[in-house]
Structure 1
């Protein structure tokens, strides 16, 4: 084995993992792996340093104990004859590795890099040659975090919750099948976005949504004021069972998109202009009048489209009862769709996933990255919250810090 490059024995690594040896702790598998990576990086550093000082040369190694979140190990740091070498990977007198160093592979993974790109990065930066199996073992560290996140306690009340789905191909019984990931995004009482859960579904319907809502209830959610959904089958019935006081607002944008699929291209511009008068109306009464006018003008050509709006009107028109500030927050599921756009950036290079776990851990890593920006309340939250407190009298005020 050379000073600047090594090959990890993945077979031995996998065998130890299969035998039940843990990843973390004193005898964990990751501790020697981190030691190897760190010492390889130090070796690359001193080689570069000596290349710039032809009259200098190596002078043995010094040893010190290093603590990491995965375990503790003895690190060997190379020395030079002139004493001018100042290592940066692990600095002098440093006895703990930074999270950045420990989670280097995980960070690359969370940004959507393929295993091949991660391997190339490690080889270019540190002269380390690792296999996909090794990277997979490292990223599997996210699984216990994911499970803890899925089971964590939630707040007792959420003013607004959005639900939407995104589909992926997952290998099952030797073939790839399409499955839906349902994302539940909320605004908490402080006005900050919070992802409550990611649920993988084989089929949707009232029974499935009942299990999801029961999970939220078991984790501490006592009340949801408004739930915004994209027309999920069976959801209004399920939420009425668990949270009977919750108002369900169907996403108007989804309804518009679905409607335009059935309108001839030559009529779409005119139809859209008339439809806009419905969903942009100032009041519920005005919206219902415009819907009548829409039916008079277009009902004979597109009866199914008009009937769809009529059938769903009770849940499509919920937002009209609120002030403009609240309307903007609830009439569309754009907030959760933005999360899904982040997910797609991570998964766009992947045609399918070997199993459900490989998909969920990548989405969880992506969620951690996305949520780093959710540190401030949404715009004008105090005004929105005061308006919601009036509409949902007694349901939010017990949880406000007044």
Structure 2
């Protein structure tokens, strides 16, 4: 048998080595253990000692070849046993490949978390003594594609979604040797249990009715039923697509964006009281109370021509901005704005800033999909409901 005599359970010891760090085991010990493990594997395959004549012998030993094996503890140089027939093959690399996978996953997590490619190469060099190219990082990130595609195309007919939040943000992508702007469309739903879910996303051309319609049609084809209320900003193409694809659903204009539009039309100086009165309108609990607050605001600024434009904006969007008041009062604070989806957008933006310009659409889908999948898993794993009962 092998010259290295170990009175230990090799499976258990190898597992301990693989799950350890440099403080618990050195690279040298890992090499010794792995080499001994493979030697024992070959002995079991040959079924005879060195130069032993035996009817049970299955093969002849035929030296070794060297192979590098990378683990989180570093790069190991191993002596892999061979046999004359070539029939012997160690199971160590396949059996413990998950440790290579853990390194790969750590790189993927680094990229998704917003670590630049340059920094990732330094991480790899620190861990393994090896540098990697951008194409290597790209190839690693492609391992996420099946999971992201399954998440992006999953059926939506297994649950009912009462409320739907939609929004778009812009990114820069290289396309045909030019840097162009692309829109990222995102939908968030509130299910019957009052938990949030990311329902879908799409990277396409700049915001338009056609693009929003295509996005909504994908959601509907996947089984999304008519929500009671759709919350978004007032982009003209978005509104038109909502009217077309969600006939029977009410539309809630985000009150944050709406009040911002109104205040931008108001004087900046000496308008503290006017702004307080405007804010009261959308803090009202009922439509009747909101109308009363609106009348109070209008009366307060009626004699000042500087507020004419602000009053016109308020009149035009008032009804759409108080649709949330038809829902349970406990839900008002969450339904009157699209802030919960805006927070997801900011998380994407934080990590996207590291990249700056995506090299292609696929890379944008991959990174954004990874972030949204992570957000979705956090939303669905918690026991904390988004809306109060």
Q: TM-score when scaled to structure 2?
A: 0.73
1:330 aligned residue (335, 349, 357): 335
Alignment of 1:144-155 (within 5 A): 144-155=146-157
Cα distance change, pair 105–290 in 1 and its aligned pair in 2 (3 A): same
CA contact (8 A) 1:260 1:268 kept: no
Distance in 1 between the 2:211 and 2:78 partners?
Answer: 62
Shift, 1:272, TM fit:
1.5
1:115 aligned residue (114, 117, 120): 117
CA contact (8 A) 1:162 1:333 kept: yes
Distance in 2 between the 1:354 and 1:145 partners?
Answer: 21
1:352 aligned residue (348, 352, 357): 357
Shift, 1:248, TM fit:
0.9
CA contact (8 A) 2:196 2:386 kept: no
Shift, 1:309, TM fit:
1.7
Alignment of 1:231-270 (within 5 A): 231-270=234-273
Shift, 1:104, TM fit:
1.9
**Aligned partner of residue 362 in structure 2, secondary structure:** helix
Distance in 2 between the 1:234 and 1:359 partners?
Answer: 23
CA contact (8 A) 1:193 1:377 kept: no
Task: State the structure with more CA Rg.
Answer: 2
Shift, 1:92, TM fit:
12
Structure 2 unaligned segments of length 5 or more: list them: 1-17, 43-66, 70-75, 80-90
Shift, 1:110, TM fit:
1.4
Alignment of 1:1-400 (within 5 A): 49=26, 60=35, 62-63=37-38, 95=96, 97=98, 100-155=102-157, 156-299=159-302, 300-374=305-379, 375-379=381-385, 381=387, 383=389
**Aligned partner of residue 206 in structure 2, secondary structure:** coil
Deviation string, structure 1 residues 143-184 (Cα, Å, up to 9, x no partner): 333333222211352111111122112223333222221211
* Deviation larger for 359-368 or 327-336: 359-368
Cα distance change, pair 208–124 in 1 and its aligned pair in 2 (3 A): same
When the two structures are aligned, how many residues end up with a matched partner? 323
Q: CA RMSD in A?
A: 3.5
CA contact (8 A) 1:207 1:238 kept: yes
Structure 1 unaligned segments of length 5 or more: list them: 1-40, 66-73, 81-89, 384-402
**Aligned partner of residue 332 in structure 1, secondary structure:** coil
**Aligned partner of residue 260 in structure 1, secondary structure:** helix
Shift, 1:311, TM fit:
1.0
**Aligned partner of residue 354 in structure 2, secondary structure:** coil
Deviation string, structure 1 residues 269-324 (Cα, Å, up to 9, x no partner): 33221101211123212211222232233352122222112111221110122232
CA contact (8 A) 1:159 1:226 kept: yes
Shift, 1:252, TM fit:
0.2
Distance in 1 between the 2:383 and 2:96 partners?
Answer: 38
Q: TM-score when scaled to structure 1?
A: 0.71
Shift, 1:201, TM fit:
3.3
Shift, 1:95, TM fit:
4.1
Distance in 2 between the 1:256 and 1:267 partners?
Answer: 17
Distance in 1 between the 2:342 and 2:268 partners?
Answer: 26
Cα distance change, pair 92–257 in 1 and its aligned pair in 2 (3 A): same
Distance in 2 between the 1:93 and 1:135 partners?
Answer: 22
Deviation string, structure 1 residues 215-249 (Cα, Å, up to 9, x no partner): 11110112212111011223333223332221111
